[in-house]
A and B are shown apart, each in its own frame.
Chain A
Amino acid sequence: MKYSDDFRKPELVKNLCDAIGKIMGRIASAGTREKVRVMEFCGGHTHTLFKYGLEELLPKHSGLSIQMVHGPGCPVCVLPMSRVDQCAAIALQPDVILCSFGDALRIPGMHGNLLDAKARGADVRTVYSPLDALTIARKNPEQQVVFFALGFETTMPSTAFTVLEAEKQNIPNFSVFCNHILTSPTLRALLQDPTLELDGFVAPGHVAMVTGLDIFNFVSDEFHKPLVVSGFEPSDLLQGIYMVLLQIANGEAKIENQYTRVVKGNGSAPGLDAMTKVYMPHPILELRGFGQIGNAGVCLRPEYENFDAEKKFGHSESILKPQPTAQSQEAFRQLEELLQKSRCGEVLKGKIEPTGCPLYGELCTPHAPVGALMVSSEGSCAAYYNRGIRSRKDSLLAADA
């Protein structure tokens, strides 16, 4: 496949690993550090890292180690459980068709996930595109069709264009349950955390494709860290890591673009126009593992209130609480107990590895996930588990392999 296979060639990966090895030598010989911690902010990059086993390919150097810190850039992972409950409550309303991306259906809420709501009679459908949800709305005028909108800036234009299209085609039974998140406030919250030591960032190319590069300027201007916007093929990611290391070796901290074939400096003008027209900053948003962050997300502007599912359905958790049976109360209590022990927030920020969480691998698995990081293929827990790492010992062995 053009523009994919070209950037997966083993010889390119080998060239990059050799170059990384050399630059590690330069950093080690300066004698100022023994470890370099590079965060790949985006879950898509975490997925690439594990899919191609890039961490194992990174060269070893006696005087310097590279640690890839898996960031929170996975919209499924940072979504609070309360939002899943609210979405399920909307789905359970009579005459509602709830449309969602596939990987959002298994995000655990306090009362189960959207598939559980489906099992209780909700009409929940998987869609590839918000436009597919709009088509369903056009074909079912008597029913309310709600699209569960998730994602960072990468998916924000598509939701915005779909709302504009619903208005243009006059499809009043379509609405959006908006959970879009902004990258820079989340990234700033990480940088402001004194307990997190990060030396550089590989940033999501498909966010910058929409926003342009300027949204990342504060990382170099205010926090003096290097950041490289990268693509998602193996050679893209390795070249991004290489460019971060080169800046560290040269004592620089600037914003660079590795993904020049897709990312233009100022992003997508049509996409940004649509976003400005449809969204406004969400005053205070709760992100899992971060608590509440100001202006970290967006909601629909008043002009598009008719397409805002929260305005249409209000807070309908009341519907969600069926008559508690002894069994459901016990299940609820057990879940709360597990959540007390879970350390999703620390794994999300890269403070601990998944294997550092007491639930990992036994009480929390892809088949019975407690935390969303184990649900999404972009979550680091799922990535660790699918790579065969069941315990801390496995991950140490993998690191030394």
Chain B
Amino acid sequence: MCVGIPGQIVGICNEEQQLVDVDISGIKRPVNVACVLEKGEQVANLLGDWVLVHVGFAMSRIDEQEAQETLALLDELGELHEPDSDEKLA
């Protein structure tokens, strides 16, 4: 029941009900953004953002930079096999 799927916000379908269109691998689905909208923020401001979708709600914005840093860290691990490489992984 914890399954969350990444998707990109590509349109607005009902601003009043805070519903946007999210593209998940080519499938578009209405998703509620109440959980990721900051106070006073406009729904249009989310266009293009990547979010984690769970039971029809965008639960969190995915941080592109953090994602790249995690991947780089794991890639880098492959090259470094010195003892201190452990510390970098955490």
Q: State the A residues within 8 Å of B (CB).
A: 1-4, 6-7, 11-12, 14-16, 18-19, 22-23, 26, 42-44, 73-76, 101, 103, 128-132, 150-152, 154-155, 157-158, 161, 165, 204, 206-207, 209-210, 232, 235, 239, 242-243, 246, 249, 256, 258, 260-264, 268-271, 274, 376, 378
Q: State the B residues within 8 Å of A (CB).
A: 1-6, 8, 17, 24-25, 32, 34-38, 50, 52, 54-57, 59-60, 62-64, 66-67, 69-71, 74-75, 77-78, 81, 85-86, 89-90
Task: Verify A1–B6 contact, CB threshold 8 A.
Answer: yes
Whole-angstrom distance between the alpha carbons of A264 and B89 in the complex? 19
10 pairs of A and B residues whose beta carbons are closest in the complex: A129-B56, A44-B2, A3-B6, A261-B67, A261-B66, A260-B66, A15-B77, A15-B78, A12-B74, A158-B57
Q: Which residues of B contact A210 (CB under 8 A)?
A: 59
* A155: contacting residue among B1, B6, B37, B66, CB under 8 A: B1
Whole-angstrom distance between the alpha carbons of A161 and B17 in the complex? 11
Q: Which residues of A contact B71 (CB under 8 A)?
A: 6-7, 12
Whole-angstrom distance between the alpha carbons of A190 and B60 in the complex? 29
The number of residue pairs between A and B whose CB atoms lie closer than 8 Å in the complex comes to 150
Given known contacts A268-B36, A270-B35, A378-B1, A2 and B50 CB-to-CB distance under 8 angstroms: yes
Task: Verify B86–A246 contact, CB threshold 8 A.
Answer: yes
Smallest CB separation, B30 vs chain A (Å):
8
* A3: contacting residue among B50, B69, B75, CB under 8 A: B50
Task: Verify A19–B86 contact, CB threshold 8 A.
Answer: yes
Q: Which residues of B contact A131 (CB under 8 A)?
A: 32, 56-57
Supplied contacts A152-B1, A261-B70, 4 more A-B pairs, CB within 8 Å: A1-B6, A18-B77, A130-B56, A270-B37
Smallest CB separation, B83 vs chain A (Å):
8
Whole-angstrom distance between the alpha carbons of A274 and B57 in the complex? 13
Whole-angstrom distance between the alpha carbons of A165 and B17 in the complex? 8
Q: Which residues of A contact B34 (CB under 8 A)?
A: 161, 270, 274
Whole-angstrom distance between the alpha carbons of A15 and B85 in the complex? 12
Given known contacts A246-B90, A256-B90, A44 and B1 CB-to-CB distance under 8 angstroms: yes
Q: Which residues of B contact A2 (CB under 8 A)?
A: 6, 8, 50
Q: Is the interface of B mostly helix, strand, loop or mixed?
A: mixed
The residue on A at minimum CB distance from B63 is: A261
A-B contact pairs, 18 of them (CB 8 A): A1-B24, A2-B6, A3-B62, A3-B67, A15-B77, A23-B86, A128-B56, A129-B57, A158-B32, A158-B35, A161-B35, A249-B86, A258-B70, A261-B70, A262-B63, A268-B35, A270-B34, A376-B1
Whole-angstrom distance between the alpha carbons of A151 and B55 in the complex? 11
* A271: contacting residue among B3, B6, B59, B75, CB under 8 A: B59
Q: Which residues of A contact B85 (CB under 8 A)?
A: 19
Whole-angstrom distance between the alpha carbons of A6 and B60 in the complex? 18
The residue on B at minimum CB distance from A236 is: B70
Whole-angstrom distance between the alpha carbons of A43 and B52 in the complex? 18
Whole-angstrom distance between the alpha carbons of A103 and B24 in the complex? 22
Task: Verify A157–B1 contact, CB threshold 8 A.
Answer: no
* B6: contacting residue among A4, A158, A274, CB under 8 A: A4
Q: Which residues of A contact B70 (CB under 8 A)?
A: 7, 239, 258, 260-261
Of the listed residues A2, A76, A232, A256, the one surrounded by the most CB atoms of chain B closer than 10 A to its CB is: A2
Given known contacts A3-B67, A19-B77, A262-B62, A232 and B3 CB-to-CB distance under 8 angstroms: yes
Task: Verify A270–B36 contact, CB threshold 8 A.
Answer: yes
Task: Verify B2–A232 contact, CB threshold 8 A.
Answer: yes
Task: Verify A161–B57 contact, CB threshold 8 A.
Answer: yes
Task: Verify B89–A19 contact, CB threshold 8 A.
Answer: yes
Q: Which residues of B contact A128 (CB under 8 A)?
A: 55-56
Of the listed residues B4, B60, B62, B75, the one surrounded by the most CB atoms of chain A closer than 10 A to its CB is: B60
